[in-house]
Amino acid sequence: MNPPMSIEPVIIPRANHPISRSLVSPNALRVLYRLRDNGFIAYLVGGCVRDLLLGREPKDFDVATDATPNQIKRIFRNCRLVGRRFRLAHIHFTDEIIEVATFRALSPPEQGEGEPVADETGQRGGDEAERLRPPRHLVSDEGMVLRDNVFGTPGEDALRRDFTVNALAYCIADFSIIDYAGGMEDLQRGMIRTIGDPRVRFTEDPVRMLRAVRFAAVLGFAVEEETWQAMLDLAPAITRATAPRLYEEMLKLFLSGEGERAYQLLRQTGLFAHLFPGFEAWLGEETDGFPHARTGSALEWVDSQVGSGEPVSPPLLLALLFGGYLEEQSERFMGQGASPLDAVSAAVAAFLGEQAPLVAVPHRIGLAMREILALQQRLHRIPGKRPQAVLARASFAEAMAYLRCRCAMNGEDSPVLAWWERYARDSVMPPVEPCSAGGETKKPRRRRRRRGVRKAAPQ
Ligand code: ATP
Ligand code: MG
């Protein structure tokens, strides 16, 4: 049996770092204190420690502990255990969920499967039955981690994380920062670096390459040289990640507020070409670089929206990203005799079909994206028939946002946009039904049809 790993962390005492409890969510503090008071180790971990140290507001607060999921469940009444790949505890509060994970091991234990994993002291018995139940670590033939549920020590838990800056922990026992991987230094230098050999880490989980791009873009960090080289070499492996996960990551990248920067990094590493090969080939056909610039400008517009707190929905994002490509495909279908509406539908269906094995866009998102694009044709007919009906369409606001972005990019559609904006503003709401004196609303009269008198069906 392997002895527990002995990893010496650097401890940064409270006096030497800026994280104050007043910056931490009160619910996260409650969870940390309760775990500590029950005799467990309790750390804030991951992105929130990184963001607090950078003076940024964390998206969420994650906790890591040596308590097992069942032990956590016993301590918190408001706890639900979730996840198959990673078994996690969710502690529910009125307006927040705090995620609590048990420290996980670096690699499968060499001893028999399910044998207890000792902690740093080798002492804590914990929930023996749970430790013996099959926490499994499963690796595919290509070295990809499929399941990772083996409990480990705090040090192992830190070193199995993706990047040094994501492996810092804030300890509630003495308010210190615990740094197992040199994360503090990389944070100060503005560097994204994998923990351990980047080739191994990206092979274990190719999505980490997209995460590297996201953190570099969002934090304005550089990617460390060896890590960057591994990304260039292993970019084709990104297609081994599951298509739904890649869709989720793509949304995070492009809706991060730094989507344009992320796009440049994706293209430089070659990741973009592997994720969107058809679209990339189309971009490559153009010699003047316009579609490429157009995608960048669309993402700049998305970034400005996100930056000013205006959410951009996934269908709108997709329509903006791939709109030029899809419009051109639609024209091709129209050239073959399809109606404008059928042509848009066919172009969108072909695109989603080609993307499905790589980046799986959910069906309803694809439909909503098609609606936004299809409505563009109608918006360009002013006033057209029944403009009020256009206004009532569920996708009107998104279609207008699409048009607004197009205007910001080339100004061509400005009169169309101005017309619809004015029309929407001036449109009167349907009058409210007048109330009778007694306060009862008048029931609409039902048309009565006499029995037996039916309109004859056409022969
Ligand atoms: P964000 O601010 O976007 O939420 P984050 O760093 O918190 O960034 P999460 O996806 O919330 O990112 O993950 C939380 C932590 O879990 C990370 O900081 C990292 O330590 C670890 N982690 C997440 N995904 C992976 C992965 N694929 N491989 C290794 N560690 C990971
Ligand atoms: Mg997070």
Does residue 372 lie within any of the structural domains? yes
Is 224 domain-assigned? no
Using one digit for the tens of pLDDT, what is the confidence trace for 1-58? 344 445 799 999 999 999 999 999 999 999 999 999 999 999 999 999 999 999 999 9
205 is catalytic: no
Residue 236 lies in a domain: no
**Which ligand sits nearest to residue 56's alpha carbon?**
1
In this structure, is residue 86 part of a structural domain? yes
Q: Which of 191, 212, 241 is the last residue of a domain?
A: 191
Which residue's CA is the nearest one to ligand 1's atom 8? 47
Q: What is the pLDDT of residue 392?
A: 92
Domain end: 141, 168, 191, which one? 191
Q: Give the pLDDT band (50/70/90) at residue 327.
A: very high
**pLDDT for 350 beyond 90:** yes
186 and 306 housed in the same domain: no
Q: Please report which ligand is nearest the Cα atom of 164.
A: 1
Contacts of 380 (CB under 8 A, 6+ apart): 413, 416
Helix (H) or strand (E) holding 409: helix 396-410
What is residue 293's predicted lDDT score, i.e. its pLDDT?
A: 83
Same domain, yes or no, for 157 and 42?
Answer: yes
Same domain? For 160 and 309 the reply is no
Model confidence at 120: pLDDT above 70 = no
How many other C-beta atoms can be found within 10 angstroms of the C-beta atom of residue 119? Answer: 19
Look at residue 454 and tell me whether its pLDDT is greater than 90: no
The CATH number of residue 171's host domain is 3.30.460.10
Residue 152 lies in a domain: yes
Tell me if 91 is assigned to some domain: yes
CA of 170 to the centre of ligand 1 (A): 15
Quickly state the pLDDT bin for 134 (edges 50, 70, 90).
Answer: very low
Report the CATH number that the domain containing residue 382 is assigned in CATH: 1.10.3090.10
pLDDT tens, position by position, 281-303: 998 886 566 667 889 999 999 99
- Is 162 one of the catalytic residues? yes
* Residue 208 alpha carbon, nearest atom of ligand 1: 27
The rounded percent of the chain whose pLDDT value lies above 90 is: 73
DSSP string, 230-262: HHHHHGGGGGGS-HHHHHHHHHHHHTSS-HHHH
296 and 181 both lie in a single domain:
no
Overall number of domains in the chain: 2
* Of 165, 191, 217, the domain-final residue: 191
Q: Which of the four pLDDT bands, split at 50, 70 and 90, describes residue 138?
A: low
Contact present, 292 and 321 (Cβ < 8 Å): no
Q: Read off the pLDDT of each residue in 116-121 and give the average, rounded to a whole number.
A: 33
Whether 432 maps to a domain, the answer reads: no
Over the range 194-225, which residues count as b (16 or more CB within 10 Å of their CB) and which as e?
bbeebbebbbbbbbbbbbbbbbbbbbebebbe
Pocket of ligand 1 (CB under 6 A): 46-47, 59, 62, 161-162, 166-167, 205, 207-208
Among 43, 147, 211, which is best to mutate for testing ligand 1, by the most ligand atoms less than 8 A from CB? 211
Mean pLDDT estimate for the chain: 86
Structure tokens at 317: 């994002």
Residues 61 and 183 in one domain: yes
Same domain, 30 and 176: yes
Closest residue to atom 10 of ligand 1, CA basis: 47
Rounded Cα distance, 201 and 181, in Å: 14
Domain boundaries, position 411? 292-426
For residue 375, pLDDT beyond 50: yes
Ligand 1 atom closest to the Cα of residue 58 is: 2
Residues 320 and 184 in one domain: no
CA gap 215, 162 in Å, rounded: 11
Atom of ligand 1 nearest to the CA of 256: 3
Structural domain includes residue 214: no
Among 51, 66, 162, 303, the active-site one is 162
pLDDT for the residue 427 = 87
Return d(Cα 326, Cα 349) in angstroms, integer: 10
Q: What is the mean pLDDT of residues 104-128?
A: 43
Active site residue 426: no
